[in-house]
Amino acid sequence: MKKYWFLLIFPVLLLGSCAQEPENPLLAEFDTPFGVPPFNEIENAHFEPAILEGIRQQEEEIAAIVDNPAPPTFENTIEALEYSGGTLGRVMRVFSNYNSTMTGPELEEIARNMSPRLSEHSDNIRLNLDLFARVNEVYGQRDMLDLNPEQMRLLEETHKGFVRSGANLPAEEQERLREINTELSSLTLTFGQNVLGETNDFKMVVDNEEDLAGLPESAIEGAADRAEQEGLEGKWVFTLHNPSVMPFLYNADNRELRREMQQAYINRGNRDNDYNNREILAKIANLRLERSRLLGYDNYAAFSLEETMAGDIPTVMEFCHEVWEPALALAKEEKEQLQQMVYDEGNDFQLEQWDWRYYTEKVRREKYALDEQEVRQYFELNTVRDGIFMIVENLWGLQFEELHDIPRYHEDVQVFEVLEADGSHLGVLYMDFHPRDSKRGGAWMSSFRSQRVDQDGNFVHPVITINGNFSPPTSTRPSLLTYDEMTTFFHEFGHALHGLMSDVHYPSLAGTNVPRDFVELPSQVMENWANEPEIMRTFALHYETGEPMPDEMMDRIVESAHFNEGFANVEYLASTYLDMEYHIITEPFDEDDLDEVSKNIEARTIENTGMIPEIHFRHASTHFNHIFSGGYAAGYYSYLWSGLLDADVYEAFRETGDLFDQETARSLRENILERGGTEDAMQMYIDFRGREPVIEPLLRQRGLSEPIDPQVIRN
C-alpha cells in the first residue's frame, strides 16, 4: 500500500528549497550522506516549531506570487507555486513517517495540534482568489504558451486542483468548506490513532500451557518473549499485531480462545471505550458528502472517482461484480469443504468466522501436505530481500549496497544505496520490517524525499522508505516470513521502485503521484515474480542449512496457488463494497443515530451482496484505516483494478518466453515506472501494452476461470 500521508494532514504538498534557524535540525539543509534526515539530531520538540516555520515561509512565498506586478506566466505563477513550501514539505515528510512508525502520546498530541493549522494553511492557498485568478489566467492561455507535455500536465492539474478545492465557490460556501476540511483533518487523524490505540491495548494472556496446543513453536516463543517484556514471566501474551494474531487464528486448537481473538480483531474501534470509532466514521462520511455536494457532485464517490482510471461509480461496481460472482461461488464451495472437515473430526458445530482460517490450514496440510510453519523456514527475511535484489538486478540492472554509517530513526531499520547498472546513484532505500507499539499496522511505502528537478536544474534523487509488520526474530530464530509476508515484501518493494525510478521534472507529478487505481500496479506486478517456482528457488533457502526448498514442497506450493482464493477475494471485495456504501450516499446519516451507522451499513452490504456469514470483512468499518484515516475512500477497489493491470502486464513478459525479457522490462520502466503522473494513466498503460487491459489474465491469476496451461518459463 502506498501511503498518501498528505491526504491525512495536508492536501497539497509542493516541494522546494531553503531553510533557517539551524539550531532546529529540521529547518537546516540536511548535511548528511545523500541528504537523508539527521535522525540522530531530531527530537519530538523540534516538529511543531518547524511545521509553523514552514507554514510561515510558504505564506511568504504565496504572497510573493500574488503580489508580483508582472503579468502571470507559467514560470512566475505555476512553477513558483509548484516549488513553494519546500521547508514545510521536508518537515512534514519526516513528521508523517515518525507519526506512523515512532509515535506515542507526544507525537500524537503534536499531530492533533497541527492538523487544523495545516488544514487552514492548505485552504488559505487553494481558496486564495487572487492566486487562483493568476492560475486561471495562465490556464486560459495554455494553447498559446508552447509548453512541453509535462508542463501542460502540471498546468492542467494545478488548475483542476484549485477548482476541486472550491476556488470557484461563493464566499459563504468557501467558509463552510474550510470548516469541513478542518473537522475532517481532526476526525481522520483521531480515527487512525484510535485503531492503533486499541490494537496496542488488547492483550490475551495465556497462563495454561494446554491452551497453546496447535500453535507453532515460533508463535509460542514470540508470545513468551512478549510476556517477559510485559513482566509476565512464565506466561504467554498474544496481541492484535498480525505476526501474533494470525498464527493464533490459523493454528490454535482452543476454539473459545480463537473466538475471543477473532472478535477482538474485527471489533477494533467498535467497543464502548476511549477508542470507539463508530460516531467518528459516520461524521466523516457525512462531512465528505457535504463537501462533495458543495463542489457540485451527488456524492463523495462521484467526486473521488472523477480522478481515477475507472472514472465513475457504474464502472467500478460492474468491474467488481465480474469478480464477485465467481469468487462468492468458489467461497461457498470452500465453506462446504471446511464444514465437512468439522464433521469428519466428530464435531457437530457450524463453521464460524473464527474457524475459517483454522480449518483452512488443516485442509492445506491434508490436501497439499503444506505446513505454513515448515514453509516459512525457507523465507528468512534477509534471504528474501537478497532474492528481490537479484530479480530487480536481472530486470533493470539495479544494484543495492548496504549503508551502515548513515542516520536511521530506529535500530531495526536497514538502509541501502540504490545504484543504476552503470554504478551511478539512483536513490536511498530505508526498510523498516517489524511491528512495535509505536508503529501503525499494515505495510506501506512512503518517502523522506521525492524525486524532482529543483529550480536550479539539479536532479534531486529520492529517499524512499517501505514499512511492514513482518514476523520479528525471536530469542532463538531470525525473522522467518510467512508466504503472505513474503509476497507483501515484494509488493511494497514494487512501490519503492515506482518512487526510486521516477524521472520527471515537477515534484507533484513524480513517483507515485498517480491515480489511486493505478498506483498499485507497480507493487502488485512484483508479486508475480515472487510466485514463480524457478525464481522462488533462488531465494527460498532454509534458514539453518541454506538448502533450497525441496522440489516436492515447491510443487505443492504451485498446486495450492489458488487454494482459498474464494475466501481471499470475498473478504477483500466485501470491504470494497462496504467502502462504496459509505460514499455513494446522497443524504447524510441521521445525526441522532450515528452510533448505529456502521452496524446498519455493514448489514446492508451483506444483504446486497449475498455475502456468507462465515466470512467477515477484511476491514470492518471501525478499523477501516484505508478509507477513514488513509487515502483510499471510495478507492479500496483500486487493488483489484490494479490487479487487472498487473496480471495483464505480467502476461506481456510471459508472451516473450522470458520473465526477465530486457525489452519488456525497459518498456515497463520507460512507460510507467519513470513517468509518475505526467500523462493520463490509461495512455501510459497503452504506451506499454499497445492496448487497453483485458480481464482474462486477472481471472486466471486468481483461480476464478478455467486456467490456461502455460509452461513454466525459465530465464
Exposed/middle/buried for 336, CB within 10 Å: 0-12, 13-18, 19+? exposed
- Mean pLDDT, rounded, for 475-499: 96
The C-alpha cell that represents 236 in the structure block = 504467554
Q: Is 418 a residue whose pLDDT tops 70?
A: yes
Q: What is the pLDDT of residue 707?
A: 40
Residue-wise pLDDT for 621-649, tens only, equals 999 999 999 999 999 999 999 999 999 99
The C-alpha cell that represents 137 in the structure block = 489566467
CA dist 699 to 641, 696, 702, Å?
A: 12, 5, 5
Going by pLDDT thresholds of 50, 70 and 90, the confidence category of residue 373 is: confident
Q: What is the pLDDT of residue 22?
A: 53
Which of 388, 398, 451 shows the shortest CA–CA distance to 420?
Answer: 398
Using CA atoms, how far apart are residues 582 and 289, in angstroms rounded to an integer?
9
**Phi, psi values for residue 327, rounded to 5°:** -65, -45
The count of other CB atoms within 10 Å of the CB of residue 137 is 13
Q: Mind giving me the DSSP string for 240-268?
A: SSHHHHHHHHHH---HHHHHHHHHHHHTT
Using CA atoms, how far apart are residues 692 and 572, in angstroms rounded to an integer?
25
* Residue whose C-alpha cell is 528537478: 453
Q: Mind giving me the DSSP string for 81-122?
A: HHT--HHHHHHHHHHHHHHHHS--HHHHHHHHHHHHHHHHHH
The C-alpha cell that represents 108 in the structure block = 500524537
Residue-wise pLDDT for 147-171, tens only, equals 999 999 999 999 999 999 999 999 9
Dihedral of the alpha carbons of 285, 287, 292, 297, in degrees to the nearest 10: 60
* Residue whose C-alpha cell is 515484494: 490
Active site residue ranges: 492
Instruction: Report the interhelical angle of 638-656 vs 521-530 (nearest 10°).
Output: 50
Which of 13, 48, 3, 284 shows the shortest CA–CA distance to 122?
Answer: 13
Q: Which domains, from first to last, does the chain contain?
A: 5-126+128-164 (1.10.1370.40), 202-256 (no CATH), 377-559+639-701 (1.10.1370.40)
Dihedral of the alpha carbons of 248, 254, 260, 261, in degrees to the nearest 10: 0
pTM for the model? 0.91
Contact 621, 281 (CB under 8 A): yes
Residue-wise pLDDT for 34-80, tens only, equals 999 999 999 999 999 999 999 999 999 999 999 999 999 999 999 99
- Which amino acid would we find at residue 323? V
Contacts of 662 (CB under 8 A, 6+ apart): none
Using CA atoms, how far apart are residues 673 and 646, in angstroms rounded to an integer?
13
Going by pLDDT thresholds of 50, 70 and 90, the confidence category of residue 561 is: confident
Residue-wise pLDDT for 392-411, tens only, equals 999 999 999 999 999 999 99
